[in-house]
Amino acid sequence: MKTDLASEHERSGVAGDASLAVDVHGLTKRYGELAAVDGIDFSVGQGEIFAFLGPNGAGKSTTIKMLCTLAHPTSGRATVAGFDVSTRAKSVRRHIGLVFQEQTLDDQLTAGENLQFHAVLYGVPHREVEARISRVLELVALSDRRKDLVSTYSGGMARRLEIARGMLHTPKILFLDEPTVGLDPQTRALIWDDIQRLRREEGVTIFLTTHYMDEAEYAERIAIIDHGAIIALDSPDVLKASVGTDTVAIETSDDEAALASLQRAGYTVERTGSGLTAFVADEETAVGPIVAATGVPVRTVRAHRPTLDDVFLHFTGREIRDQRGEAVPMMARARGARRS
């Protein structure tokens, strides 16, 4: 079996497959005429936090299902934890943790019983079960609720318990499908604390899908997926830098004079409809010096750093669907940024 797999890797020309948590080549899933996922390629290194960002229906869930062996690829190849998803489904499943969008706990059992059940399903050796359960509950700060029925849990607690359960059998990769969807911002922050703690302490690779821009920010690398294809893949900073630099927009009592003084001070400045825009490396530290260098009274200051919203808009030409508010100003900002 070992030699089979090795030669398979050689044939496909992939070096060091086993060092990658996820390795995907030309992965495609068709439903009739529709290609839900259309020949995507990417890989995820071990210990990485990797995000699939895209609107609902972009192909995120279909991809995650194929990687978790819950759907068969139409074509292409994917290895997860070194196992081919098509031929070694059970081995893949044993080495991954899964947290679905929808809750999959038995709320008539206690947290401890749910974990016990999971430990047996995933073949955690009997003598290790107790230590593992204590450990994962500790990781998500639910140790004191172990004996409580899940039906008494809040939505956020249930989600944290599911993350703990996903980690119970010491998976190499934890898949999180929209991990914080429907939760309040405070709970979302709490869950991200948990995720980062278990990545740090257990060295697990995190693969998540999200349509929340701010959630994708936690990832080390982001793949932006739209209409079944990956249209951009890099770290959040590089992606943001690719759509433009930070800007500081000011309105003054005398824009002509301000423009002259700012240019003298060495700033790259442009006139815009309502004032001036300076292109800077870091908007936060630039605001003070710019206002000081203007030389005339400043009426308004607006600093902006490209966001993933801008990135998404830049690559898809539209906003992420079901995004809240601020459509027009954001478009304007993105246009401004792209001009630079």
Give the nearest distance from C-beta 241 to other proteins in angstroms: 28
Residue 29: CB minimum distance to other proteins, A: 13
Q: Which is nearer to other proteins, 57 or 295 (CB)?
A: 57
Q: CB 300 → other proteins: shortest distance, Å?
A: 49
DSSP secondary structure string for all residues of 245-259: -EEEEEEES-HHHHH
Q: Which is nearer to other proteins, 132 or 240 (CB)?
A: 132
Q: Which of 104, 143, 140 is nearest to 121 (CA)?
A: 104
Q: What are phi and psi of 152, to 5 degrees?
A: -90, 0
Least CB distance from residue 21 to other proteins, whole Å?
A: 9
Residue with smaller CB distance to other proteins, 94 or 227: 94
Helix (H) / strand (E) containing 158: helix 155-167
Q: Which is nearer to other proteins, 68 or 213 (CB)?
A: 68
- Contacts of residue 339, defined as CB under 8 A and 6 or more positions apart, other chains included, come to 244, 270
Compute the least distance from the CB of residue 185 to other proteins, in Å: 24
Q: Note the residue count of the chain.
A: 340
**What is the full DSSP assignment across 178-245?**
STTTT--HHHHHHHHHHHHHHHHHH--EEEEEES-HHHHTTSSEEEEEETTEEEEEE-HHHHHHHT--
Q: How far apart are CB 193 and other proteins at their closest, in Å?
A: 16
For the bound state, the minimum distance from the C-beta of residue 201 to other proteins, rounded and expressed in Å, comes to 5
Residues that bind other proteins (CB under 8 A): 1-2, 5-6, 16, 18-19, 46-47, 65, 68, 70-72, 81-83, 88, 90-91, 93-95, 98, 100, 102-109, 113, 116-118, 120-126, 128, 131-132, 135, 169-170, 172, 200-203
Q: Residue 269: which residues within 8 A CB-CB, separation 6 or more?
A: 259, 262, 263, 276, 277, 278, 279
Looking at the Cβ atoms of 201 and 254, the one nearer to other proteins is 201
Our CB check for other proteins shows the closer of 105 and 290 to be 105
Give me the residue label for tokens 């630079």: 340
> Which of 304, 244, 243, 320 lies closest to 52 in space, CA to CA?
320
Between 113 and 234, CB nearer to other proteins: 113
Residue nearer to other proteins on the CB measure, 88 or 240: 88
To other proteins, the closest distance from the beta carbon of 167 in angstroms equals: 9
Which residues have CB under 8 Å from 21's CB, separation 6+? Answer: 44, 45, 46, 47, 48, 80, 81, 172, 173, 205, 207
Smallest distance, Å, CB 217 to other proteins?
23
- HSE-up of residue 331 (Cα within 13 Å, Cβ side): 8
205 vs 316, beta carbon nearer other proteins: 205
Compute the distance between CA of residue 308 and CA of residue 237 in angstroms, rounded to an integer.
Answer: 9
Q: What is the DSSP string of 89-114?
A: HHHHHHTEEEE-SS----TTSBHHHH
